Amino acid sequence: MSTSIHQVAERAGVSIATVSRAFNTPDAVHSDTRERIAQVARALRYAPNRSASTLRSRRSRTIGVVLPTLLNPVFAECFEGIAQASCEAGYAIVPYTTEYDLERERRAIAWLRERSVEGVVLTVANAANSPLLAEITRAKLPYVLLYNRHQERPCVSVDQTAAVQESVTYLHDLGHTRIAMATGSLDTSDRAQQRYDGYAQGMRALGLTPLAAAEQPFMHANTDALNALLLQAKRPTALICSNDLLAVRALRTARTMEIDVPRELSIVGFDGIALGAELTPSLTSISQPNAEIGRSGVELLLAGRTPKPRDSITLAHALRLGETVAARTSQSSA
Amino acid sequence: MSTSIHQVAERAGVSIATVSRAFNTPDAVHSDTRERIAQVARALRYAPNRSASTLRSRRSRTIGVVLPTLLNPVFAECFEGIAQASCEAGYAIVPYTTEYDLERERRAIAWLRERSVEGVVLTVANAANSPLLAEITRAKLPYVLLYNRHQERPCVSVDQTAAVQESVTYLHDLGHTRIAMATGSLDTSDRAQQRYDGYAQGMRALGLTPLAAAEQPFMHANTDALNALLLQAKRPTALICSNDLLAVRALRTARTMEIDVPRELSIVGFDGIALGAELTPSLTSISQPNAEIGRSGVELLLAGRTPKPRDSITLAHALRLGETVAARTSQSSA
DNA sequence: GCCAATAATGTAAACGTTTACATTGTGAGC
DNA sequence: GCTCACAATGTAAACGTTTACATTATTGGC
């Protein structure tokens, strides 16, 4: 049986209250006593029982983490940041992945409440109509949104709209004018929507007409829309993808259609997953500081008072240059 | 304040014991009563307090999950399997990543003990000398190793040695004789070692002399050893990599050296990460059922009695054919 | 119609902490 | 030397469950 505070107290010749204080409010106990307790605790390999502590103090020192999936490296990278930050703060994590499934998202709240998390960092498909977010708000549980960007919510994200807009300008500077965008499902994902907005604004700012997004409904989607886009006579010479996984798929689609990247088609991804830089050709991508997003989210959540919309943090994005983008050449024009 | 069992009991006109039973041993309470309690509980949005339950029953319904990193998709895929299986069993997870750092591995045990996990599923660098594994054994904590393969430990894995051996044969059948292997750090990782053994055995079985492994010490390693290997006059025509991330890097190295894959060099990875199939060229890889490994590990752990070495499970691997392997041609010979 | 077995519920004592409050000892200020 | 403040510690009551044990119907066998 594992050792309890009583045995430490006895061996150290003090009451259990003093042992408890030695751990939680060290200044409240005499340094000699503290030292003695520390020694006994070490000798007995005493680890305070978290459940008892939580039960009595009503502080679980646990936060919920709800992400769509860990299979997308963006979220894996983010998760590592979250885990590291919360570990440093002595907080444990209750992870939950929704797999973009509304039913699972709905079930998350019970899972989290039951484990009495003190707060939640989460990414939802759409902040405007997320059942989970509604429940969290209703339960008055402190939370921070990651990646989602919403005026009336505390968020940690990059300015996705501006980021995509910049990349449009970048491509335009390289001579591209027929620039298209591939996204996930627009009405499911607010992020995809905001990224597309950046594209549209960027195009208009340059006096160009934005094209409709080539939407690919699901994660392992067919690439019909993209195929159609690239089959046109006057096909685009540059393609911005709303995430890196889509960009990888676009790379493959182009190869299948015998379109050379980047000579005939430039591709820009979004997310800046580490693996992108290792690919051949290496992916040009609007990179987000994923681990930092997770870390900041946790820090904001644990900062003290409940995070408010005005506490939202916008982190810096950067265009990570790779080998999938080239200046427009004569070949680019079909 | 969240609602407690007392309020449910009062509203349902029963004692708290009955409410408790209604949740934990439904058969022990009358169906009418059970129904009434269920209704009240729903109305009051009652969720039993896990800490109190754990404290009293000494069952935390929580398992520890220790993996090297989630940045390698192998482990992310595995983690999803773990999460799903434990969620279904009503178990929460305490995740911990070691980042291949011994100090972090050492700290894991305290982290887990403090949260009173009932068991652990884990992957260690080397099962033969892992401080964490030693501590877990010492604490008599039930555990299951994932990916690690060890006679005297309960493990869930594929037969890596056989898998690599088969891939050697496969390449040989395609005409390759100069087959090399790239690995991570051999004396750090027992998995890399076992995979290399499979290579060596495979070569000898074919009457060929195994080459020394091109070792790449760390995750973001330099590719010096690989470069040297490929710079030789009679360079290999096929390369087996001990994991997919290495294979991706090898792909890049080859491109840098203007060696065409697969015409001049065939590449086989190990792990079967989902992304590999999306790459261009798509990665030929010895694929493991990663989610299944995680899932089986959890199921074994929660099966009842403490898992024993003889409970170890070997899952099926498969050579996932991709575009990085071709039959040996005249060009293959330098 | 009585007894024993069984089903359904209640009572109350844990589980291992934290923490308000009480107690003691010590030195400073007068 | 008497108070007062303060530091250090102790006492004991929670926190919200589970569960051994006790109690009270209910049923069936005789």
* CATH assignment of the domain containing B198: 3.40.50.2300
Tens digit of each residue's pLDDT (9 = 90 or more) over A140-163: 899 999 999 999 999 999 999 999
In this prediction, residue B334 carries a pLDDT of: 47
Q: Which nucleotide lies nearest residue A33, CA to C1'?
A: D8
Report which DSSP code applies to A28: G
Domain presence at residue B119: yes
Q: How many CB pairs under 8 A join A and B?
A: 110
pLDDT, position A139: 87
Q: A2 or B166: which carries more pLDDT confidence? A: B166
The one-character DSSP state at B148 is -
Q: Which residue has the tokens 């427009």?
A: A328
Q: How far is CA A232 from the centre of its chain?
A: 35
Instruction: Average the pLDDT over each of A86-90, A229-233, B112-116, B147-151 and give the range with the smallest value.
Output: A229-233
The residue ranges of DSSP E strands in chain A, in sequence order, are: 62-67, 92-97, 119-122, 143-146, 155-158, 179-183, 214-215, 238-241, 266-271, 284-287, 313-315, 318-320
Q: Domain count of chain A? A: 3
Which residue of chain B is at minimal alpha-carbon distance from A139?
Answer: B2
Predicted confidence at residue B110, as pLDDT, reads: 86
* Cβ-defined contact of B48 to A114 (cutoff 8 Å): yes
Exposure letters B220-259 (e unless 16+ CB within 10 A, then b):
eeebebbeebbeeeebbbbbbbbbbbbbbbbbbbbbeeee
Position A187 pLDDT exceeds 90: no
A326: confidence class by pLDDT, cuts 50, 70, 90: confident
Residues of B with CB under 8 A from a CB of A: 2, 47-52, 54-55, 60, 69-71, 73, 76-77, 79-80, 83, 87, 92-97, 110-111, 113-116, 245, 248-249, 251-252, 255, 274-275, 278-280, 282
Q: Is residue B327 part of a domain?
A: yes
Q: Which residues of B touch A69 (CB under 8 A)?
A: 80
Paired residues of A65 in beta bridges: A95, A121
A326 in any annotated domain: yes
For the residues A218-239, what does the mean pLDDT come to?
78
In a domain, A196, yes or no: yes
pLDDT at residue B1, rounded to an integer: 59
The reported pLDDT for the residue numbered B21 is 94
| Domain assignment of residue B74, yes or no | yes
What three-state secondary structure class fits B94? strand
Look at B275 and A248 and tell me if their CB atoms are within 8 Å: yes
pLDDT given at position A141: 92
Question: Which pLDDT value is given to residue A198?
Answer: 96
Residue of B307, B220, B324 whose CA lies nearest to B270:
B324
- The 10 Å Cβ neighbour count of residue B148 is 23
Segment A29-69, tens digit of pLDDT: 999 999 999 999 999 999 999 999 999 999 999 999 999 99
Mark the ranges of chain B whose per-residue pLDDT is less than 70.
1, 218-222, 330-334
In the DSSP assignment, the letter for residue B207 is: T
| Contact of B119 with B140, CB cutoff 8 Å | no
Is A156 in a helix, a strand, or coil? strand
pLDDT for A325: 92
Kindly give, in sequence order, each residue whose CB lies less than 8 Å from that of residue B305, ignoring residues fewer than 6 positions away: none
Q: Name the average pLDDT for chain A.
A: 91
Quick one: pLDDT at residue B226? 76
Does A232 share its domain with A324? yes
In whole angstroms, what is the distance from residue A327 CA to residue A321 CA?
13
Same domain? For A143 and A214 the reply is no
* Cβ-defined contact of A278 to B245 (cutoff 8 Å): yes
Do A276 and A130 share a structural domain? Answer: no
Report the gap between the CA of B249 and the closest CA in chain A (Å). 6
Task: Say which amino acid occupies B8.
Answer: V
pLDDT value of position A330: 63
Task: Specify whether B128 is located in the same domain as B260.
Answer: no
Do B169 and B232 share a domain, yes or no?
yes
Same domain, B255 and B296: no
User: What pLDDT does residue A334 have?
Assistant: 47
Task: Give the residue on A whose Cα is nearest the Cα of B110.
Answer: A47
**Do A67 and A136 fall within a single domain?**
yes
Query: Domain check: are B129 and B106 in the same one?
Result: yes
d(CA A211, CA A183): 12
Encode pLDDT of A265-313 as tens digits: 999 999 999 999 999 899 999 999 999 999 999 999 999 789 999 999 9
What does DSSP assign to residue A212?
P
Chain-chain contact of A51 with B110 (C-beta, under 8 angstroms): no
Is A72 among the domain residues? yes
A135 alpha-carbon distance from chain centroid: 20
Beta-carbon contacts of B42 under 8 Å, excluding residues fewer than 6 positions away, are none
- Report, in ranges, which bases of strand C sit under 7 Å from a protein C-beta: 7-12, 14-20
Residue B227 has a pLDDT of 80
What is the pLDDT averaged over residues A170-192? 92
Region A80-87: mean pLDDT is 95
Provide the 3-class DSSP secondary structure of residue B67: strand
A282 neighbourhood in chain B, CB within 8 Å: 252
Same domain as B326, residue B193: yes
At B331 the pLDDT is 54
**Token output for A44:** 């007995």
Q: Cβ–Cβ of A116/B245 closer than 8 Å?
A: no
Question: What would the mean pLDDT of A179-205 be, rounded to a whole number?
Answer: 93
Distance between CA atoms of A96 and A122, rounded to whole angstroms? 9
Cα distance between residue A208 and residue A269, in whole Å: 21
Burial readout A160-181 (b: 16 or more C-beta within 10 A, e: otherwise) = bbbbbbbbbebbbebebbbbbb
Residue B164 lies inside a defined structural domain of this protein: yes
Sequence-distant (≥ 6) Cβ neighbours of residue A240 within 8 angstroms: A164, A167, A168, A171, A179, A180, A181, A182, A199, A267, A268, A270
Range of the domain at B249: 160-289+319-332
DSSP A319-330: EE--SS-----G
∠A146-A135-A121 over CA atoms, to 5°? Answer: 20
Backbone angles phi, psi at B10, to 5 degrees: -60, -55
* Residue A100: C-alpha distances to residues A47, A121, B248, B321 (Å): 38, 16, 28, 29
Examine the domain organization and report whether B271 and B164 are in the same domain.
yes
A325 and A193 part of one domain = yes
CATH number at residue A33: 1.10.260
Q: Is residue B263 domain-shared with residue B234, that is, in the same domain? A: yes
The reply to whether B78 falls in a domain is yes
pLDDT given at position A14: 93
